[in-house]
Amino acid sequence: MFRRRHLVAATALAACLIAAPALADQGKSTATPTSQELLAKSSPAEWRRPDPSNLLVMQLPAGRVLIELAPDFTPLHAANIRTLVRQHYFDDLAIVRVQDNFVTQWDDPAGDDGGDPKKIRSLGKAKTKLPPEFTRPIDPKLPWTALPDGDVYAPQVGFSEGFPVARDPASGQEWLTHCYGMVGVGRDNGPETGNGSALYAVIGQAPRRLDRNLAVIGRVLEGMPLLSGLPRGTGPMGFYTAPAQRTAIESVQLAVDLPPAQRPSLEVLRTDSPTFTALIEAKRNRRDAFYAVPAGKVDLCDIDVPVRTAQATTSARP
Amino acid sequence: MFRRRHLVAATALAACLIAAPALADQGKSTATPTSQELLAKSSPAEWRRPDPSNLLVMQLPAGRVLIELAPDFTPLHAANIRTLVRQHYFDDLAIVRVQDNFVTQWDDPAGDDGGDPKKIRSLGKAKTKLPPEFTRPIDPKLPWTALPDGDVYAPQVGFSEGFPVARDPASGQEWLTHCYGMVGVGRDNGPETGNGSALYAVIGQAPRRLDRNLAVIGRVLEGMPLLSGLPRGTGPMGFYTAPAQRTAIESVQLAVDLPPAQRPSLEVLRTDSPTFTALIEAKRNRRDAFYAVPAGKVDLCDIDVPVRTAQATTSARP
């Protein structure tokens, strides 16, 4: 009785870390390759290891969360977050808020409403205010893989350096978008009041109205379930109402600061690779035994950039 | 120090059950009313109480989940689900699968891979197969509130009877869409193999590629955090790997079968009401102190239809 498995098999592309075995009767009527088949045929050169200077390792009691920074889009925020991390700013802080269908947020609880202002942790050498970096001028030198189906919110959308991006040729600006798993910088009303000491990850339907209003600094590559599968806060806006409800952050480190053997070993599919383009097409038009009607379209935020454990490099001549 | 609260306040429309107090300094530069202001000014006639024959009450250990059926879109599935519920089919079954950024699913674990086929619960008088009901002919008599900003997947989108709907005038068909909180019927490869004994709720970015491929039978009106805030399953496709990881379903009942005093008392904003139209516009163009750039657009699945506790009816002459 495969009833339940089939619904899932038909949608395996939704998973970020894909290692699902092909089901026995899957693909009988396949006219296009499955995502698994495409990934299996990809070449090593189509994968990249994230720069360890851009990789945050957040250790939670239940496991680790890996976040790749996007310094080509938000360089000042990336630098400030690196400064905070190297001061161990986030160690022993907490996940303070989980708002359903919206965001999971972590910061210094002492600075939140109801916290003790006298206990607010110093930002040390990090800046307390930063230029917004909500958008940046379109850089024709950055790789760009355009999506073909349009977008409700922006004139153009696609992927650049592994991240979902929107572009507006009229203004000449581009920006990272608030898709599931993207990480942004909390701020006060003033556009320059964000500094990276309060971060949030999107855990629901993409709140694209936030685009161009907040600095998006990267993407969760591993560990989303540790952020999305938490009990929702019952206070206003999903804040937890008691300290015991929070999830402790044991530490946040930069991968480059770890001994090489301890650095996360993972690879991200290049979004300017032929395999990624083929994956987009496979997602637009599912033609396996489950799908009666292929969508023929795909939304920017419904595409996950594949991540995998780094493969051992095999030399052609041992 | 409102830094963290402001990010939230600016996005309060994302919440389904809205009762957030206005912040002291919110709205200073408001050019359009906030959602809270709009809801506060709504008239009683703009709200409806769901028909108790269409309201499922699912009791979990942590609380209740309320699901409104949509018999105008999937009548045969609604009828079959009512039959299953009245046989107490779901009582003591379980949430068996939580796949991150995708769905939470509940069904008879004995019928899943690895279950004991000898223990599969009988469907009793319910049908084991149903016509698909993936789409239906557009009914001009159903209320229709169109959205103005287009859609990646369908020619037209809007709301009908409280549900998000897509329409294709060329084929003359319309269908409920896989937005966050919508509930669908799991099935095997055959389009007629769904019967309502395995249900799923969307807990991530809208998987719109499922539209027209599965029967969508309704929407969660209350209790989404009880479905979305669960630990993700670590087995293939998010299935739990051990029975102890599952969440037990204590019971599923129809509200109409409960004594009147025990029926859930809630109201849903009519999607053909002036207040709902005003909410859409407010969501398209946020102009409070937080937003630097209003989106000017809104996606179908980024609009939540407000739900509230039923208000006491006050008579004009006591």
Q: State the smallest CA–CA distance between residue B312 and chain A in angstroms.
A: 24
Q: Are the beta carbons of A97 and A286 closer than 8 angstroms? A: no
Give domain status of residue B314, yes or no: no
pLDDT digits (tens, 9 = 90+) for B47-101: 999 999 999 999 999 999 999 999 999 999 999 999 999 999 999 999 999 999 9
- Burial of A272 (C-beta count, 10 Å sphere; 0-12/13-18/19+): middle
Helix (H) or strand (E) holding B220: strand B216-222
A110 and A200 part of one domain? yes
Asked if A166 and A63 sit in the same domain, the reply is: yes
Instruction: Report strand pairing: A55-60 vs B266-269.
Output: unpaired
Select from B187, B189, B239 the residue whose CB has the most chain A CBs within 10 Å, as the one to mutate to test that interface: B189
B299 neighbourhood in chain A, CB within 8 Å? 152-153, 205-206, 208
Strand partners, A95: A106, A247
Q: Which amino acid is at A307?
A: V
Same domain, residue pair B85 and B64: yes
Among A270-274, A293-297, B288-292, name the most confident range: A270-274
Whether residue B188 is contained in a domain is answered as: yes
Answer whether A11 sits within 8 Å of B210, measured CB to CB. yes
Report which of B188, B181, B248 is spatially closest to residue B213, judged by C-alpha positions. Answer: B188
Smallest Cβ distance to A207: which of B149, B209, B302? B302
**Is B204 close to A204, i.e. CB distance below 8 A?**
yes
CB A76 within 8 A of CB A133: yes
Task: Work out the mean pLDDT of chain B and round it to a whole number.
Answer: 90
Instruction: Sort out which chain B residues have CB atoms less than 8 A from A20's CB and list them.
Output: 236-237
Question: Are both A240 and A289 inside the same structural domain?
Answer: no
Contact list, A130 vs chain B (CB under 8 Å): none
- Suggest the residue from A65, A100, A212, A219 to mutate for an interface test with chain B (most B CBs closer than 10 A): A100
Question: Residue A2's pLDDT is what?
Answer: 31
Please report whether residue A317 resides in a domain: no
Are A229 and B111 a contacting pair at CB < 8 A? Answer: no
Nearest by CB to residue B237, choosing from A20, A101, A111, is A20
Residues B22 and B107 in one domain: no
Domain range enclosing B66: 52-264
Q: Are residues A248 and A273 in the same domain?
A: no
B4 CA: distance to closest CA in chain A (Å): 6
Number of inter-chain CB pairs under 8 A, A vs B: 260
**Does the beta-carbon distance from B295 to A209 stay under 8 Å?**
yes
Q: Which DSSP letter does residue B38 get?
A: H
Q: What pLDDT score was predicted for residue A10?
A: 37
In a domain, B260, yes or no: yes
Does the pLDDT of residue B286 top 80, yes or no? yes
Residue type, A4: R
Task: Identify which of A3, A151, A304 has the shortest CB distance to residue B188.
Answer: A3
Q: Which two tokens stand for residue A195?
A: 């500094």
> Residues A153, A197: one domain?
yes
Q: What is the pTM of this model?
A: 0.91
Confidence of residue A32 (pLDDT cuts 50, 70, 90): confident
> Does residue B11 sit within a domain?
yes
Residues of A in contact with B213 (CB under 8 A): 10, 290-293
Show the DSSP H helices in chain B as ranges: 3-9, 35-40, 75-86, 224-228, 274-284
d(CA B205, CA A209): 15
Per-residue pLDDT band for B16 (boundaries 50, 70, 90) equals: very low
Domain containing A115 — which CATH number? 2.40.100.10
CB contact under 8 A, B5 and A291: no
Over residues B225-244, the pLDDT tens digits come to 999 999 999 999 999 999 99
Please give the pLDDT value at position A314.
54
pLDDT band at residue A295 using 50, 70 and 90 as cut-offs: very high
Distance between CA B2 and CA A113 in Å, rounded?
Answer: 7
Contact B100 A213 (CB under 8 A): no
Which pLDDT value is given to residue A113? 82
Q: How far is B265 from chain A (nearest CA, A)?
A: 20
* Residues on chain B touching A179 (C-beta within 8 angstroms): 205
Direct distance between the N- and C-terminal alpha carbons of chain A, in angstroms, rounded to an integer: 46
Gyration radius of chain B's alpha carbons: 20
Query: Among candidates B175, B239, B177, B101, which has minimal Cα distance to A9?
Result: B239
Q: Is residue B56 part of a domain?
A: yes
- Give the tens place of pLDDT for each residue, A177-234: 999 999 999 999 999 999 999 999 999 999 999 999 999 999 999 999 999 999 999 9
Per the CB < 8 A criterion, the answer to whether B105 and B97 are in contact is yes
Mean pLDDT of B304-314: 85
Contacts of A185 in chain B (CB under 8 A): none
Asked if A211 and B299 count as a contact pair (C-beta separation under 8 A), the reply is no
Judge if A181 and A42 occupy the same domain: no
Contact: B189, A25; criterion CB under 8 Å: yes
pLDDT at A12 over 50: no
- Banded pLDDT at A94 (limits 50, 70, 90): very high
Q: For residue B80, give every residue at least 6 positions away whose Cβ sits within 8 Å of its Cβ, in sequence order, or none.
A: B126, B127, B130, B195, B196
The token duo for A199 is 């971060």
Identify the CA nearest to A213 among candidates A165, A175, A173, A181: A175
**pLDDT of the residue at B113:** 82
Q: Do A149 and B152 touch (CB under 8 A)?
A: yes
B124 in a structural domain: yes
Rounded CA-CA distance A206/B55 in Å is 28
Average pLDDT over residues B9-30: 36
Task: Give the alpha-carbon dihedral of A75, A81, A87, A90, to 10 degrees.
Answer: -170
The confidence score (pLDDT) of residue B315 equals 52
Residue B30 has pLDDT above 60, yes or no: no
| Closest in A4, A214, A225 to B232, CB measured | A225
> What are the tokens at B104?
């939470």
Burial of residue B198 (number of CB atoms within 10 Å: 0-12, 13-18, 19+): buried
> Looking at CA atoms only, how far is residue A49 from chain B in angstroms?
24
The band of A31, judged by pLDDT with boundaries at 50, 70 and 90, is: low
For the record, the structure tokens of B175 come out as 């269908």
At B117, is the secondary structure helix, strand, or coil? helix
A7 falls in which pLDDT band (50, 70, 90)?
low
pLDDT in tens, A18-28: 333 333 334 34
- Among the residue ranges A115-129, B210-224, B283-297, the one predicted with the least confidence is B283-297
Contacts of B129 in chain A (CB under 8 A): none
The alpha carbon of residue A222 is apart from the nearest alpha carbon of chain B, in Å, by 12
Residues of B in contact with A297 (CB under 8 A): 152-153
pLDDT, mean of residues B153-182: 98
In this structure, is the dihedral angle defined by the CA atoms of residues B23, A182, A297 and B206, taken in order, positive or negative?
negative
Are both B251 and B137 inside the same structural domain? yes
Instruction: Looking at the complex, report in whole angstroms how far the Cα of residue A55 sits from the nearest Cα belonging to chain B.
Output: 22
**Total count of domains within chain A:** 2
**pLDDT given at position B314:** 54
Pick B11's closest partner by Cβ from A113, A149, A207.
A207
How far is the C-alpha of A278 from the C-alpha of A296, rounded, in Å? 14
Secondary structure string (H, E, C) spanning chain A? CCHHHHHHHCCHHHCCCCCCCCCCCCCCCCCCCCHHHHHHCCCHHHEECCCHHHEEEEEECCEEEEEEECCCCCHHHHHHHHHHHHCCCCCCCEEEEECCCCEEEEECHHHCCCCCHHHCCCCCCCCCCCCCCCCEECCCCCCCEECCCCCCCCCEEEEECCEEEEEECCCCEEEECCCCCEEEECCCCCCCCCCCCCEEEECCCCCHHHCCCCCEEEEEEECHHHHHCCCCCCCHHHECCCHHHCEECCEEEEHHHCCHHHCCCEEEECCCCHHHHHHHHHHHCCCCCCCCCCCCCCCHHHCCCCEEECCCCCCCCC
DSSP string of B154-173? Answer: -SEEEEETTEEEEEETTTTE
If asked whether residues B174 and B302 sit together in one domain, one would say no
Identify which of A107, A191, A237 has the shortest CB distance to residue B292.
Answer: A191
CB within 8 A of B70, min separation 6: which ones?
A: B54, B78, B161, B163, B176, B216, B217, B218, B219
In chain B the first and final C-alpha atoms are separated, in Å, by 47
Report pLDDT for B114.
Answer: 83
Residue B286, classed as helix, strand or coil, is coil
Q: pLDDT band at B172, cuts 50/70/90?
A: very high
Helix, strand, or coil (residue B53)? helix
Residue of A nearest to B285 (CA): A209
**pLDDT number for residue A26:** 40
CB contact under 8 A, B237 and A9: yes
Q: How far is CA B130 from CA A7, A204, B74, in A?
A: 16, 31, 10
Q: Provide the mean pLDDT of chain A.
A: 90
Task: For residue A120, give the chain B residue with the closest CA.
Answer: B1
**Same domain assignment for residues B129 and B251:** yes
A96-105, B106-115, B134-143: segment of lowest average pLDDT: B106-115
**pLDDT above 90 as % of chain A:** 82
Q: Which residue has the tokens 């581009």?
A: A174
From the list B101, B198, B299, the residue facing A208 with the nearest CB is B299
Nearest-by-Cβ selection for B189 from A97, A289, A304: A289
B54: closest CA of chain A, how far (Å)? 24
pLDDT score, position B317: 53
Question: B6 to chain A: which residues are within 8 Å by CB?
Answer: 187-189
**DSSP label at residue B48:** E
Non-local (6+) Cβ contacts of B313 within 8 A are B44
Strand partners, A97: A105, A239
Q: Which residue among B1, B101, B198 sits closest to A180, beta carbon to beta carbon?
A: B101
Q: Is the per-residue pLDDT at B6 higher than 70?
A: no
Which of these, B153, B242, B20, B295, lies nearest to A301 by C-alpha position?
B153
- Nearest chain A residue to B62, by CA: A231
Mean pLDDT of B136-164: 98
Q: Are residues B64 and B112 in the same domain?
A: yes
Question: Which of A46, A50, A40 is closest to A19 using CA atoms?
Answer: A40
Q: Residue A315: inside a domain, yes or no?
A: no
Asked whether the beta carbons of residue B7 and residue A105 sit closer than 8 angstroms, the reply is yes
